[in-house]
Amino acid sequence: MSNEESKQPAAPPAASAAKPAAKPATASVAKDVKVKEMPRRSFLNWMTLAWTAFTASMLAAGTATARFMFPNVLFEPPSTFKAGFPNEIQIGQVDERFKPRGVWLVRDSEGIFALSTVCTHLGCTPNWLEGEQKFKCPCHGSGYYKDGINFEGPTPRPLERFAISLADDGQILVDKGKKFQFEKGEWINPQSKLNL
């Protein structure tokens, strides 16, 4: 080999021995996008959950506030009501027109009284049995005479009476806000009976 030949630059390596070609740029970008998208999706999910929780808590707080501002109130019918004219009830009659309001009007030879329809045993509603001339409780069998005095069954005391009077227009006025109990001697109170 001559000196000139030895000074020639080395030939470039063959194509087969070249370094592996770099991967296409598009694949690399797609991978990057995937890597970046995952956290964004998680973030959105987290935001959705946070908003849902926030909305739920606001609704709960609003409901609690509304309950505080407008508490449950039981609107009961007024305790005093007019119950027709005295001559609409015959002597010896038990008037059941006002049973839905918790009152029987009973007329005897002296006047009219308003009996409570609540059994004094455990609070059921007795029935008036015209044929037997008695009030009979369907729950445990307590029985009361027409005047409200108990005579059978487990009840320990008579029915109660409500205050009764005449209104300005001549109608019977019943006041369920005032009760009179026989066993306390309260039936002698003039308000417990409307004498006619």
- Stretch binding ligand FES (CB under 6 A), from 38-46, 71-79, 94-102, 152-160: 152-160
- Please say which residue, 139 or 173, places its beta carbon nearer to ligand FES: 139
State residue 189 phi and psi, 5-degree precision.
-65, 130
- Please say which residue, 60 or 149, places its beta carbon nearer to ligand FES: 149
Task: Tell whether residue 155 is a contact of ligand FES (CB under 6 A).
Answer: yes
- Please say which residue, 29 or 122, places its beta carbon nearer to ligand FES: 122
Binding mask 39-78 for ligand FES (x = CB under 6 A): ----------------------------------------
Q: How far is the CB of 94 from ligand FES (least distance, A)?
A: 17
Burial class (CB in 10 A: 0-12, 13-18, 19+), 108: middle
Task: Tell whether residue 142 is a contact of ligand FES (CB under 6 A).
Answer: yes
Residues in the chain: 196
- Alpha-helical regions (H) of the chain: 3-6, 25-69
Q: Are 85 and 99 in contact (CB under 8 A)?
A: no
The CA distances from residue 23 to 18, 28, 38, 41, 109, in Å, are 15, 8, 23, 28, 116
Q: For binding to ligand FES (CB under 6 A), which residues are involved?
A: 119, 121-124, 137, 139-142, 153-155
